[in-house]
Amino acid sequence: MLRVGFPATISADLFADFPKEVELIPLSDKLDHDVEIDVWIPDPYPARALRIVSHLRGVRLVLSLMAGTEWIPGAMGPHVTICNARGAHNISTAEWTISAILSMLKYLPLYLDVQRSGEWKRRFEATEHYARITGDLRPHYPPVMQEELTGKTVLLVGYGAIGKEIERMLVPFSVQLLRVARTPRIDPPVQPVGELNRLLPKADVVILILPSTAETRHLIGSRQLALLKQGALLVNAARGPIVDTDALVDALNAGRIRAALDVTDPEPLPVGHALWKCPNLLITPHIGGSSPQFAPRSIKTAEDELRRYIAGEPLRNVVQAAI
């Protein structure tokens, strides 16, 4: 019988549909003895999962509940097959991305401050904000109190499952969409990463939704931020290290761009870090995938892979094949 270890923090009820050929082994993050398992479903929080790696024996397959698996190869070595939860977090992450864009374009952080102050007349700060961040100093009457997403140019950097879901949700806004990915494609048109710098000046909104690798580290640095048009919105729903944090802090403090981040570098973002106080910035603490559907969808993805593994069929979400 295949022994499958899973986080004891996740209700065993969610594994009720797993194949009968499986013995489920709950694993506490305080595990203090060796355990023999064939398949490991790690805790979604890497710090918890890493606490027990040294006690795991016999692991041949890792089924991550996350789309990102950056820490797993180093912890498990090259002789283990690793699958991610590709597709499980498409909806929640894409919805966060659309919400973050609209929050920034509708000035919701500013209006939350207005609400808390109880001063209706502070609404005119939105007009000043618009002129300052966009550089549009023309007189507008009635005064500008928000911006529209409809008709803007959106640059989607990363075109995997989540990127495609973001694109689907953007359709009603009639945006002009530009796509960049590691592998260029024709239908729909996707440009190679080498074209990024050429495309950045065209974008009103830049969405980052690509994996964190050695090649993508600081993909967005001082040069790339300088290429953005005045008032462009950078949205990072991917991983913090893709953006050079120091360069981002400088660009935000200079009033050149605005940003919405669900991820940061470092992460967690320390108390007192300069990023916390930057203007024109919305930060959420890496919550983009964390809806009530997180566990059920991720575990269903793991279950599907496990059934294929038992049947000897090709796995769908392999990010590392065992050597």
User: So what's the pLDDT on residue 323?
Assistant: 87
pLDDT in tens, 163-206: 999 999 999 999 999 999 999 999 999 999 999 999 999 999 99
Please answer whether residues 284 and 67 qualify as being in contact, where contact means their C-beta atoms are separated by less than 8 angstroms.
no
Catalytic residue (choose from 3, 122, 217, 286):
286
Catalytic residue among 21, 267, 313, 316: 267
| Catalytic residue list contains 286 | yes
Looking at residue 30, its pLDDT comes to: 95
∠ Cα 157 161 163 (to 5°) = 30
For residues 66-78, average pLDDT = 92
Domains, in order of start, for the chain: 2-88+291-320 (3.40.50.720), 90-106+147-283 (3.40.50.720)
CB 267 within 8 A of CB 245: no
> Does the CA dihedral 208-211-212-215 come out positive or negative?
negative
The Cα–Cα gap between 18 and 24 comes to: 9
Active site residue 267: yes
Q: What is the pLDDT of residue 301?
A: 96
Do 299 and 15 meet the contact criterion of CB atoms below 8 Å apart? yes
High-pLDDT (> 90) share of the chain, %? 95
**DSSP 3-state of 67:** coil
Active-site option among 129, 179, 239, 258:
239
Residue 77 has what pLDDT? 95
296 band by pLDDT with thresholds 50, 70 and 90: very high
pLDDT in tens, 13-24: 999 999 999 999
Instruction: Kindly tell me if the per-residue pLDDT of 265 is higher than 90.
Output: yes
Nearest to 319 by CA among 128, 68, 121: 68
User: Do residues 246 and 272 lie in contact, with contact meaning Cβ atoms separated by under 8 Å?
Assistant: no
